[in-house]
Amino acid sequence: MKFTAEAVWSDILAIRRQSPLIHNITNYVVMNNTANAMLAMGASPVMAHAQEEVSDIVRIANALVINIGTLSDRWVLSMQTAMKEANIKGIPIVLDPVGAGATFYRTQTVQQLLSVASPAVIRGNGSEVMAIVQTGVQTKGVDSLDSSESAIDAAHILSNKYGCAVCVSGKIDYVVMDKQVAQVENGHAMMTRVTGMGCTASALCGVFLSVNPSVFEAAAHAMIVMGIAGELAAERSDGPGSLQLHFLDSLYSLTETAIVQRMKATA
Amino acid sequence: MKFTAEAVWSDILAIRRQSPLIHNITNYVVMNNTANAMLAMGASPVMAHAQEEVSDIVRIANALVINIGTLSDRWVLSMQTAMKEANIKGIPIVLDPVGAGATFYRTQTVQQLLSVASPAVIRGNGSEVMAIVQTGVQTKGVDSLDSSESAIDAAHILSNKYGCAVCVSGKIDYVVMDKQVAQVENGHAMMTRVTGMGCTASALCGVFLSVNPSVFEAAAHAMIVMGIAGELAAERSDGPGSLQLHFLDSLYSLTETAIVQRMKATA
Amino acid sequence: MKFTAEAVWSDILAIRRQSPLIHNITNYVVMNNTANAMLAMGASPVMAHAQEEVSDIVRIANALVINIGTLSDRWVLSMQTAMKEANIKGIPIVLDPVGAGATFYRTQTVQQLLSVASPAVIRGNGSEVMAIVQTGVQTKGVDSLDSSESAIDAAHILSNKYGCAVCVSGKIDYVVMDKQVAQVENGHAMMTRVTGMGCTASALCGVFLSVNPSVFEAAAHAMIVMGIAGELAAERSDGPGSLQLHFLDSLYSLTETAIVQRMKATA
């Protein structure tokens, strides 16, 4: 399997044309960035978490993005309700298990959510992906420690168990599904100094899933676009403050040429 | 009735001089932007939502801004308490019915809030304004579909029912009150690609209400200032990321000359 | 006692090298800024507030930052749990009593939190610091009114009572501990037009406490770095929008030379 700039670009055009509605139940820290990244891509984000309405929102959405970054009991209940409804309606789900492994509560919540419905994509850093599989692993907060072979092994286990694509973000992003492994080498080190870049990556998975029926391709395309927009932004930035805004500008004005010239993805 | 740059500028000077305290019960996505827009104007924002303190905050505030963007039951209770208190104390209220029509919960909540106290200003996009009047309308998430004649008709109905000004935001912003309709043609298309610009518009209504006793004029002035600051920002921006920050800079450094040269408002 | 640029720089290098994990239970408005400021410094922020996990997070953290900006009952309970755990484990606590004095609920909550555990640092503006001591003082929202002698007197009372350093932020920042008073004259007036700069200052106290065992020095170093980064940012900014991003860039790329040239701190 080979990723092509044409296929990435075709998804981007579809997003800009269709303006898919993406329902996010995500964390307080990144809501603003996530909404802005989606708007910059041409998608239409909705943030809604009340038990009274999540099912109604899911029903009109083209994808559901669940992110446990600042979880609490009532939010987790709403995540479950939304995932159940998405499952019934066949709406693709992205799960970002932020901080899995850092606390028992997070690891356990991820297991509960996964028992409600299988996501189309799980996206996390190496520590988080490993923690879901090996519940004994203690991770350090929400930042990645590792994106090694053990993380890819864990991703394969998760992918097989839930029939989903698993993205392992790091210096190299891996997308694992069935026997396939994609490697995306786009991106820039400075992106790790902006909060919520991982969360944005998960959100973009939701955006691409809403226009591309191939889950594996959608996830890889999201990683490619994240990485290229990050590179374009970092090259114009003096630090993580300016990177954050240039990143949104880059998503907004992304061209096919930039993708052709920069894309480094193999499968 | 005619809007004048002098009157807009006089309000801006009053805001900078008096630094009015604006109490916001708003959504998680935009709290930061909203606070920053108010600070850039010279106002003093307070975000507080606990049942235990909203009445105390309302009592020292010069305006109350209610925004249901990420509503949940306890927040709605606090909104009701705050509106009740504002009503008793004669503090002007702005209501932003974000996503009304998208779910039954939102439409119903707006009706409940409107039954507690009449706002001075209701500001939303066309879909939201229509949904409040015709409860059968299904809107698509939180973004506007329409700013047509039917929205203005709905605005008239709301204005008459609640004795308030109704702003209908869109390519052209309309402010409706009694038999008056103001049209504000300032603004820039790129503003729709930044999250929370509508919420900021509502917040600025609160800021202008705190210095201008004419509700109709205050609402129109807020739309004019939003639009002009947005134009100034967009002209210097490569995308919605940089627009967001230039918008704040523009609010901060707005001059009478810019208003004189750019204002496109008729009533 | 004398502050030296060398000592400030040594702390910064330690932060960049050790990447300390800072647990924040803070307000919705500033979470994103706070996380980004910590990341720009080289620290590793975690935002987590669920009763189910705060103790687990505290246990792996190097400092705990408590900020009551958008408090509500369940969040206050989690703050108490986290402070209790931090106290047991000897992890330094920063308390930011946002809006103390503005409502009875805030003033009372601060008293409750202080009865749970003594923080290493209390940081607020003059009004807030005075309100904690003289519970009858009514402050105006969350912005500072005063940074006068009475605020420093109040800081001394608090410092003696809780054995902590007390930062009083204002045009001049004061750090009070025992009989010592540090004055930091760095900073820029435009910083008051960006929301959450005070909250960021508190967060940076936590970051410096995690690498510097002298509480008085850590707090003063945090104020110095805030002020210098703010100056560097303001000089490149057209308004508070661009200041916000340049501030992050400045924290990220801060050099020893800048500190040597700009530091204005005496004790």
Q: Is B72 on the interface with A (CB under 8 A)?
A: yes
Place of tokens 């246990």: C59
Q: Is A6 on the interface with B (CB under 8 A)?
A: no
Q: Is 60 exceeded by the pLDDT of residue B138?
A: no
Percent of chain A's residues with pLDDT above 90: 93
Q: Are B219 and B194 in contact (CB under 8 A)?
A: no
Residue-wise DSSP of C89-155: HT--EEEE-TTBTTBHHHHHHHHHHHHH---SEEEEEHHHHHHHHSTTPPP-TTS----SHHHHHHH
Distance CA B251, CA B229 (A): 6
Question: Can you give the residue ranges of every domain in chain C?
Answer: 5-266
Distance CA C81, CA C78 (A): 5
The CATH superfamily of A5-266 is Ribokinase (3.40.1190.20)
Residue-level pLDDT at B2: 78
Residue-level pLDDT at A2: 78
* C17 membership: H or E segment, kind and range: helix C5-18
Q: Are B213 and B7 in contact (CB under 8 A)?
A: no
Helix (H, G, I), strand (E, B) or coil at C102: coil
* C218 membership: H or E segment, kind and range: helix C215-235
Helix (H, G, I), strand (E, B) or coil at B255: coil
For A195, the closest of C39, C60, C252 (CB atoms) is C39
Q: Is A60 on the interface with B (CB under 8 A)?
A: yes
Q: Is 90 exceeded by the pLDDT of residue B238?
A: yes
Mean pLDDT of B88-109: 97
Q: Is B99 on the interface with A (CB under 8 A)?
A: yes
Residue-level pLDDT at A267: 86
Residue-level pLDDT at A148: 73
pTM of the model: 0.95
Is residue C249 packed enough to be buried (19+ CB in 10 Å), middle (13-18) or exposed (0-12)? Answer: buried
pLDDT band at C141 (very low <50, low <70, confident <90, very high): low
Q: Is 70 exceeded by the pLDDT of residue C147?
A: no
Q: Is C97 on the interface with B (CB under 8 A)?
A: no
For B44, the closest of C104, C141, C239 (CB atoms) is C141
For residue B177, give the amino acid letter. M
Q: Is A251 on the interface with B (CB under 8 A)?
A: yes
**Closest residue in A to C16 (Cα–Cα):** A193
Distance from CA of B237 to the nearest CA of A (A): 9
Residue-level pLDDT at C1: 64
Distance CA C209, CA C212 (A): 5
Q: Is A235 on the interface with B (CB under 8 A)?
A: no
Distance from CA of C227 to the nearest CA of A (A): 17
For A106, the closest of C31, C53, C252 (CB atoms) is C53
Of B265, B251, B136, B171, which Cα lies nearest the Cα of B204? B251
**Closest residue in A to C35 (Cα–Cα):** A195
Residue-wise DSSP of A73-135: HHHHHHHHHHHHHHHHHT--EEEE-TTBTTBHHHHHHHHHHHHH---SEEEEEHHHHHHHHST
Q: Is B253 on the interface with C (CB under 8 A)?
A: yes
Q: Are A159 and A166 in contact (CB under 8 A)?
A: yes
Beta bridge partners of A125: A169
Set of chain C residues whose Cβ sits within 8 Å of the Cβ of A69: 47
pLDDT in tens, C54-72: 999 999 999 999 999 999 9
**Closest residue in B to A41 (Cα–Cα):** B193
Q: Is 90 exceeded by the pLDDT of residue B135?
A: no
Cα within 13 Å of Cα(B152), Cβ side: 14
Cβ separation A50–B194 shorter than 8 A:
no
- The average confidence (pLDDT) of chain B is 95
Q: Which of A33, A47, A72, A145 to mutate to test the interface with C (most CBs of C within 10 A)?
A: A72
Q: Are C209 and C215 in contact (CB under 8 A)?
A: yes
pLDDT in tens, A149-206: 899 999 999 999 999 999 999 999 999 999 999 999 999 999 999 999 999 999 999 9
